[in-house]
Chains A and B, each alone.
Chain A
Amino acid sequence: MMFTLQQVISEVGVTETDLQLWIEQRWVLPHRHNDDFVFDDVDLARARLIRELRVDLMVNEEAIPVVLSLLDQVHALRRTLARVNSAIDRVSPTAKAEIATLLKADD
């Protein structure tokens, strides 16, 4: 799904000034089409998250990039871990057993 700036403003419940600021800070990264911003699902969800952090959870503005960066690192790790998991899914049973043993040994 694609959304315009106005749609995001009303969906998320944010002022245009705030949303513009978030885009300037690169907290939200919509595409540009001609002179308009185009938001996809992930941009919308992220804008909503930022609104909730700012308004509902009262995270102050300086802390937002820290929170986002840490969250994105967690997601990046989880993506990587998912790839590792799927790779482990495809190795031979012997290798799987070996990996299981190594993981236990590291505990």
Chain B
Amino acid sequence: MATPYEILGVQPSASADDIKKAYRALAKKLHPDLNPGNKRVEQQFKELSVAYDLLSDPAKRARYDRGEIDASGAERPDRPFYRRYAEGREGAKYQDFSVDEDSFVDDLFANLFRQRRQERPPMHMRGADVTYVAEVDFIEAAAGAKKRLMLTDGKTLDVTIPPGTEDGQTLRLKGQGLPGVGGGAAGDAYIEVKVAPHPLFTRKGNDVHIELPITLPEAVLGATISAPTIDGPVSLKVPRDSNTGSMLRLKGKGIVDRSTGQRGDQYVRLRVVLPDQADPELTDFLEKWARRHPYTVRRGTDQP
């Protein structure tokens, strides 16, 4: 067993002041209240206290030096350290001394505490939500589609894109997020839908707009032509004397309204296109025709 001098790390010839200094230095390291949870230091601190009790009292120190008492002669009774209470129920009032609602302790275990406040058992947590982006083309978004997404972890996720889905809309797949912990429900997957623009179709609300070229005879004489819709081509009757800018409506060929379930319409804007190659017959005809049928289309635009 170490002598009191060894425990304090001083020479037997050390002065009272040296002994005090040595004790102070060691006590700062070994005080049990400065080492919560460390069982070993409590024993070391006890030995230190016993040694210091003996050597700090000149009478006791003299008796020890003469061999009249042994090193354990001055052992103090066990005493309860603050740390014994600090972590128990009794210590709770001092936790408020420094640990308030915003403290990092709460942050660290915020999730756990939140569950606790809701009276749910701990470690029974819902899985986290995840967000993915699904890119679909215009027709898929308008008419609805099934998409298979490749996830980052190599898994696949089948997503039903409902008809009428808009660009930027977010779909929720319940229970397709990360698995829960301890029997907790899985989180949800959120799919953000990006709709690619279409060369022909544009969407305005629940209506689809398209511009359709027609020939000069079709415009003047009328015709039944084929027009693309999101459902595929349909017949469209172009009335006689149609013109560039004439708007025709295909009822019910638009996009399904997500709340009412009703379909919008498709609007077809006609654009009259002359033949690719100049046609002498048409030129001759128009020269004669124009002389007899002058008409103006720029009224009000002549003067800048």
Contact = CB atoms under 8 A, between A and B. Distances in A.
Given A45-B81, A76-B95, A95-B123, A71 B34 contact: yes
Contact of A73 (B33, B90, B103): B103
Given A69-B97, A79-B95, A84-B109, A42 B81 contact: no
A75 B24 contact: no
A75 B109 contact: no
A75 B86 contact: yes
B63 to A, nearest CB: 23
Contact of A91 (B91, B97, B123): B123
B33 A26 contact: no
Contact of B122 (A75, A77, A82, A87): A87
Contacts of B86: 42, 71-72, 75
Given A76-B99, A82-B87, A91-B182, A71 B36 contact: yes
B169 interface: no
B37 interface: yes
A54 interface: no
Contacts of B81: 45, 49
Given A41-B90, A42-B85, A45-B84, A73 B99 contact: yes
Contact of A78 (B31, B36, B80, B82): B36
A101 to B, nearest CB: 13
A68 interface: yes
B124 to A, nearest CB: 8
B184 to A, nearest CB: 10
A26 B97 contact: yes
A16 B100 CA distance: 30
The 3 closest A-B pairs by CB, nearest first: A42-B85, A69-B98, A75-B86
